Amino acid sequence: MKTDQAELTFRLRCIGCGASPGSAGQNFRCADCGDLFEFVSSDLTCDPSELRALWLRRRASIGKTTTDALDQSGVWRFRELLPHIPEEHAISLREGNTPLYHLHRCARATGVANLYAKHQGMNPTASFKDTGMTFAVSSAHQAGFRWVACASTGNTSASMAAYAARGNMHSLVLIPEGKISWGKLSQSLDYGALTCQLRTDFDGCVRILSELVRQKPVYLLNSVNPYRIEGQKTAAIELLEQLNWEAPDHIIVPGGNLGNSSAIGKALLEMLELKLISRLPKLSIIQAQGANPFYRSVHEFGGAKLEPTTADTLATAIRIGNPASWKKALRVLRETGGEVEQVT
C-alpha cells in the first residue's frame, strides 16, 4: 500500500506463554498453551506529528474522486498502525469514519461536564464489527481461503456475510436456537451466508465452529482472530483524532466476548507508547447481570480465573457466558485503572 511513512513491523505473540510463531493455526490458539494470540510491534517509534498530519490529509480527501480507495475507510486510513496486508487483498465497504456526538442533556443528567457517544452503529452493517471484519476478511483473502465462518447472535454474522460477499467468498454462520437478533440475521441471509441454527447457546456454537475449522479449510472470523482486534482498535484511534488527541478521562464500553474492549485498550496503550496521546484514559466495561462472567471473575476471584455461566439477557449482542478475550480485557482494566460493572 502506498504510504508517506514507513509501516511498523508486527508479529504474533501468545498472551499466555509468549510464544511467537510465524503464523497462527486455523483456530487462532497457541499450540503450546492454548491461549490467544495478539499482534505486537517492537518498533513503535513513528513520528507522532507526521502520523497525525498524514491521517488528517487522508480524512480531508474523503469523497474526492482522486482519493486512494483505502483512504475512504476509517480503518485502512490508519494502516501504518496495522499489520501489513497487500492492497490487492483489502476488502472495504468504507467502514469507520463514525460520528462523535456531544450529549449535552445526558451530561447534565449524569453530573459530568462533558459526555460523548461514538456512534459505531453508523458502520455499513450497523455495528462496530465492520471495523474488525474488513481487516480479518482481507487476511482470509490474502491467505487464499474460499470459506469464512463465525458463530453469532446477529452483528458478527451480518458483518462477516457482507464483507465475504464483497470479496467473492462463501460464508457460514452458526447461530444458537432462539434468543438472537433476527433483524441482524436477516442481513447475513440477504448477503448469501449459509446459516445453520443449532440446539445450543452461543458458546456451544463457538465450540462446534472451533472443531470445524480444525478439520476443514474454513477461516474463523470470531474475535479470537487477532486480525479482528487490529481492525477494531482503529475506532479508538479515530476517537482520539476526533478529540484532537486530548485523551478523555474515561471510555466506557459494553462487554460480551470482550474483543472490542481489548481492541480499544490495545490501541490506547500503543498510542501512548507512540506519544500520540500524553496520558491513558480509564477504560471500563459494563456487562449485563444475566451475562456477567467477567464481572464475577474480577469481583469474586480478583481476575485469577473465569467461571463460564449460562447467559440470559435481553441484550442479545452480549449474551455470552464464556468470553474468549477475558484475559486481554483484564490486562486493559489493570493497565488503564478501569472497572467492570454489571447492570440489570
What is residue 9's predicted lDDT score, i.e. its pLDDT?
A: 87
Answer yes or no: are the C-beta atoms of 235 and 120 closer than 8 Å. yes
Report the candidate in 89, 90, 52 with the shortest Cα–Cα distance to residue 73: 90
Which of 44-58, 122-136, 221-235, 241-255 is the least confident region?
44-58
CA-based nearest residue to 228, from 193, 188, 263, 187? 263
Question: How wide is the angle at C-alpha 222 spanned by C-alphas 219 and 225, nearest 5°?
Answer: 70
> Scanning the structure block, which residue is given the C-alpha cell 465475504?
164
Classify strands 10-14 and 37-41 as parallel, antiparallel or unpaired.
antiparallel
Give the residue-averaged pLDDT of 148-174: 95
Mean pLDDT (whole number) for 106-117:
96
Torsion sign across C-alpha atoms 175, 177, 181, 182: positive
How confident is the model over 141-169, as a mean pLDDT? 95
Q: Tell me the per-residue pLDDT of 193-242, one tens digit each, with 9 for 90 and over.
A: 999 999 998 889 999 999 999 999 999 999 999 999 999 999 999 999 99
Query: Considering the chain, what percentage of its residues have pLDDT values greater than 70?
Result: 97
Residues 175-189 have a mean pLDDT of 81
**Is the separation of the CB atoms in 29 and 35 below 8 Å?**
yes
CA distance 235 to 250: 15
Confidence of residue 2 (pLDDT cuts 50, 70, 90): very low
State the average pLDDT over residues 34-51.
89
Residue 5: its pLDDT value, please?
52
Q: Residue 16 corresponds to which cell in the numbers above?
A: 499466555
159 φ, ψ (degrees, to nearest 5) = -65, -50
**Residue 1: per-residue pLDDT:** 42
**Cα dihedral: 267, 271, 274, 275 (round 10):** -170
Q: How far is CA 140 from CA 144, 146, 171, 216, 275, in A?
A: 6, 8, 12, 14, 32
H/E element holding 241?
helix 234-242
Mean pLDDT over 324-341 rounds to: 97
Q: What is the mean pLDDT of the chain?
A: 93
Would you say the C-alpha torsion 77, 238, 28, 16 has a positive or negative sign? positive
CB atoms within 10 A of CB 70: 19
CB 90 within 8 A of CB 77: no
The CA distance from 240 to 33, in Å, is 35
pLDDT of residue 6: 53
Whether the pLDDT of residue 4 is over 70: the answer is no
By percentage, how much of the chain surpasses pLDDT 90? 84
| Residue partners of 141: CB distance under 8 A and separation at least 6 | 89, 91, 167, 169
pLDDT tops 80 at residue 54: yes
Q: What is the pLDDT of residues 239-272, one digit of tens each?
A: 999 999 999 999 999 999 999 999 999 999 999 9
What is the secondary structure of 280-314 as a DSSP string?
PPEEEEEEEGGG-HHHHHHHHHTTS---------S
